[in-house]
Amino acid sequence: MHKIIVAFNLVIIGSLSMLISGCKVGEIKKPVVNVIKSKFTSVSLKHGRLDTQLSVSNPNVFKLPIETVSYKLFLNDKEFISGATKQSMKIPAGGSQRVELPLDIEYKKLLGGLGAIFKSKTIQFRLQGEVDLGLVTVPYQKIGEFKIN
């Protein structure tokens, strides 16, 4: 009877150690999001399009799906545009994926702040948002300024 109890305890201890070590393997490492570039690709009298490219790096040993990417664009600390775009791609394990983020900008939203912009000769911008990867959501942000000559 004593041998059965010892064997049973060894099975329990072995199972628990496998579960604990399995949790360490199954931990999700936080992906990294970087803004690669932003540029105007089309401009008209009423609106323009700012195409932004993000790079999402996956440090995990499994693929991660990109479900949505949200964004907010601030000009001189005023929210200018915001929204979200659905994505249908996967980031490979240990790899990265580029994500295209098209931002349509209506110029009439700028009119309220044009005087301050022309006085300062610069436009400060902040692009921020989140990449929803299903299991985790990762924020990103890019801050800078444009000079007006």
Q: What is the pTM of this model?
A: 0.66
Q: How is the chain split into domains, by residue range? A: 32-147
3: three-class secondary structure by DSSP: helix
pLDDT score, position 85: 87
Of residues 149 and 38, more confidently modeled: 38
The model's pLDDT over 14-66, given as tens digits with 9 standing for 90+, comes to 443 433 344 344 577 888 988 888 777 777 767 777 788 889 999 999 999 99
Domain 32-147 has CATH 3.30.230.70: no
pLDDT score, position 97: 92
Q: Which residues of 32-46 are buried (b: 16+ CB within 10 A; e: fewer)?
A: ebebeebeeeeeeee
